[in-house]
Amino acid sequence: MRSDTLPKGISIHPIPAFNDNYIWCINDDKHAVVVDPGDATPVLSYLRENALKLAAVLITHHHYDHTGGIAKLASAVKELPIIGPRGGHIKGLTKTVAQGDTVALPVIDMSLQVLEVPGHTLDHIAFFGHGALFCGDTLFSAGCGRLFEGSPEQMLHSMNKLKRLPDSTKIYCAHEYTQANVNFALAAEPDNNDLKNYALWVKEKREHNECTLPGVLGEQKKINPFLRSHEPSVKDAAEAFTSTSLSDDVAVFAAVRRWKDEF
């Protein structure tokens, strides 16, 4: 079996939750693993409708819209593995993991590597394997998460860590923020033709209320301003926003993130 593709018979589906969350369900025709179940109710409904047995839960960070369903799922499934970041601050985890650890999911024939990606929160991790990245609120399509706990330097380091993954990597982030992110990206890089083409695709998808995810890393490197702090066009836009000369990529990233917060 190739390590850069999903095992035969495995698919990944978004379970909508709240206003714009996606709880990702990795499944075959019998078993499922869910990522960041902020709400147990839609998960249990999806499992019931598709005759799936919940085999494990993966958690990327402590925010309630990613963890709120843990207790109910644990009550519904005895001895349910619930795997998330170390620190002892997330109630209900049965196993904690850190950078370099491997999460084995033999029931669906998958194995995921753990990446520490602080920035949005200090405890944030991502799970990567088989060409798929489950990155919570770190990297979005055409955007990135707000810096609630980490510094711009930490977040840029996390972005650069993710950029080093294969360009074919599919990005399963946890929110349908793509349209708003594209609107901002166009303000930052109005002459980016790749971005303009992507914006047309996103507009059509959202007009039909269709999911815009997963993104593909190679494409994101062309259109996502938070992966492009090194590009002169992004630097020029950030300097125009701040009316100052920005000395390095961290300063550019920080300015672009602040601009997005105010956009």
The one catalytic residue in 36, 39, 123, 137 is: 137
Residue 58: which of 85, 78, 31, 79 has the closest Cα?
85
Catalytic, 208? Answer no
Work out the angle at residue 237's Cα, subtended by the Cα atoms of residues 215 and 185, and round it to the nearest 5 degrees: 25
Residue 84 to residue 88: CA distance in whole angstroms: 10
**Closest to 120 in 3D by CA, of 187, 33, 36:** 36
Residue 66 is a catalytic residue: yes
- The 3-state DSSP class for residue 171 equals strand
| Catalytic-role residue among 36, 39, 65, 123 | 65
Q: Which residue out of 31, 36, 39, 120 is catalytically annotated?
A: 120
Q: Annotated catalytic, 101?
A: no
Instruction: Mark whether 63 is an active-site residue.
Output: yes
Annotated catalytic residue 20: no
Cα–Cα distance list, 113 to 83, 104, 163 (Å): 12, 9, 15
Q: Which of 31, 66, 124, 130 is catalytic?
A: 66
Select from 29, 4, 149 the least CA-distant residue to 138.
149
Among the listed residues 115, 120, 123, 124, the one whose alpha carbon sits nearest the alpha carbon of residue 151: 120
Q: Of 31, 62, 130, 175, which is the active-site residue?
A: 175
Give one DSSP letter per residue of 9-61, joined into a string.
T-EEEEEEETTTEEEEEEE-SSEEEEE--S-HHHHHHHHHHTT-EEEEEE---
Q: How far is the C-alpha of 25 from the C-alpha of 31, rounded, in Å? A: 10
Active-site position among 31, 61, 62, 124: 61
137 is catalytic: yes
- Give the C-alpha separation, 185 to 181, whole Å: 6
Catalytic residue chosen out of the listed positions 31, 36, 39, 63: 63
Q: How far apart are CA 133 and CA 239, in angstroms?
A: 32
Q: Report whether 234 contacts 256 (CB < 8 A).
A: yes
Q: Could you give the residue numbers annotated as active site? A: 61, 63, 65-66, 120, 137, 175
